[in-house]
């Protein structure tokens, strides 16, 4: 079975690497294509084709996924799309994506939490750099 979701992540961020390593180790990861934005040759903004609607700066600043149909999703909604692929995380995806009368009441709260995480991400990444990082977090 091929990938039905593409995840763009910042491999230069120790926190991001650890999180992606966690997802890669889960059953269902074979359906996800992981694109490291900090991989070889990625320093040149024109060196990677991220598809329509996404440039390297935006991809590094915020979590993005692309569905098989080309739809681009970011932030908390993107995490929910990723979590759908993993049995232990589906409940959280369902909760975030829960619809009541055509509205997703929990998504704004999940998005607010995600935006707060962006503020503390540099601090957490610095703390993780100070620790030993073996192959499991790459």
Residues, the chain? 138
> Which of 42-46, 78-82, 130-134 is least confident?
130-134
Cα separation of 122 and 30, whole Å? 29
Tokens of 3: 């990938």
Tell me the DSSP string of 24-67: HTSTTGGGEEEEETTSTTTTSGGGS---TT--HHHHHHS-EEEE
Question: Which pTM was predicted?
Answer: 0.85
Tokens of 131: 């620790």
For residue 72, give the H/E element and its range.
strand 72-74
3-55 confidence digits (pLDDT tens): 899 999 988 888 888 899 999 999 999 999 999 998 765 556 566 778 899 99
């Amino acid at each position: 079975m091929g990938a039905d979701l593409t995840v763009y992540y910042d491999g230069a961020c120790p926190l991001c690497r650890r999180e992606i390593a966690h997802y890669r180790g889960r059953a269902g990861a074979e359906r996800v294509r992981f694109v490291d934005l900090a991989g070889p040759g990625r320093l040149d903004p024109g060196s990677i084709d991220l598809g329509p609607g996404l440039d390297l700066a935006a991809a590094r600043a915020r979590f993005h996924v692309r569905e098989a149909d080309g739809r681009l999703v970011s932030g908390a909604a993107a995490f929910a799309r990723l979590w759908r692929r993993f049995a232990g995380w589906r409940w959280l995806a369902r909760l975030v994506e829960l619809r009541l009368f055509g509205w997703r009441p929990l998504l704004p709260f999940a998005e607010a939490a995600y935006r707060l995480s962006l503020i503390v991400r540099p601090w957490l990444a610095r703390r993780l750099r100070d620790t030993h990082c073996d192959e499991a977090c790459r």
